[in-house]
C-alpha cells in the first residue's frame, strides 16, 4: 500500500502494483505535513497544522485526533511497539499514548525542533533542531545534547 497526500487537504491510500485506489479523503482539517505508517502497518498517522490524526490503514476510518494548540506539528514517529507517537513542534516535543490520546511526556525540545525519531530499541527519543537532544523514552529526562 501507498499513502499519499495530494495538493491541499486530501489523503489517499492506494495499491502501487495495480494503481487502484483503496480509499480517499478529500477534505482534511488542513494540509498534510507528514504521513507515517505504524510499524505493524495497521494504522497511519498524519500530521497537520495543529492536529495529529490516526487512521485505520485498511479502511481509512479515522480512529483518533490529538490536538496541540496553538503549535504546528513538524514531525512525528511511531514507537517500535506502536503504543506511542512522538511529535515535534517549534518549541516542544510530546509523547502521546495512542490508546488514550493523552500526552504521556513533554520533553525539553531543542530550539526550532524539526525532526523527532525513536531509536529502534524504543529506549530513546532523538529530537533535532538547532541542537540535537537525546531523551530517555520512558521517563523523559535528557541523556545527551550536541550541536549538529
pLDDT per residue rounded down to tens, the chain (148 residues):
888 887 667 888 999 999 899 998 887 777 788 899 999 999 999 988 788 899 999 999 999 998 876 677 888 999 999 999 999 887 788 999 999 989 999 987 766 667 899 999 999 999 988 889 999 999 999 999 988 7
Cell numbers 477534505: residue: 27
Q: What angle do CA 125, 101, 108 make, to 5 degrees?
A: 35
Name residue 115's beta-bridge partners: 128
Q: Tell me, what DSSP letter sits at residue 127?
A: E
Confidence (pTM): 0.88
Residue 70 carries which DSSP code?
S
How many Cα atoms sit within 13 Å of 135 on the Cβ side? Answer: 24
Amino acid at each position: 500500500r501507498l499513502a499519499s497526500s495530494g495538493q491541499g487537504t486530501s489523503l489517499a491510500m492506494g495499491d502501487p502494483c495495480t494503481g487502484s485506489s483503496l480509499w480517499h479523503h478529500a477534505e482534511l482539517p488542513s494540509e498534510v505535513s507528514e504521513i507515517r505508517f505504524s510499524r505493524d502497518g495497521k494504522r497511519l498517522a498524519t500530521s497537520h497544522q495543529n492536529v495529529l490524526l490516526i487512521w485505520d490503514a485498511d479502511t481509512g476510518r479515522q480512529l483518533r485526533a490529538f490536538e496541540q494548540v496553538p503549535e504546528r506539528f513538524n514531525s512525528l514517529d511511531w514507537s517500535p511497539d506502536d503504543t506511542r507517537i512522538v511529535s515535534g513542534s517549534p518549541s516542544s516535543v510530546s509523547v502521546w499514548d495512542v490508546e488514550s490520546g493523552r500526552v504521556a511526556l513533554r520533553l525539553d525540545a531543542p530550539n526550532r525542533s524539526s525532526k523527532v525519531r525513536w531509536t529502534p530499541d524504543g529506549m530513546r527519543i532523538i529530537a533535532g533542531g538547532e541542537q540535537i537532544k537525546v531523551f530517555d523514552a520512558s521517563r523523559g529526562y535528557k541523556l545527551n545534547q550536541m550541536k549538529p
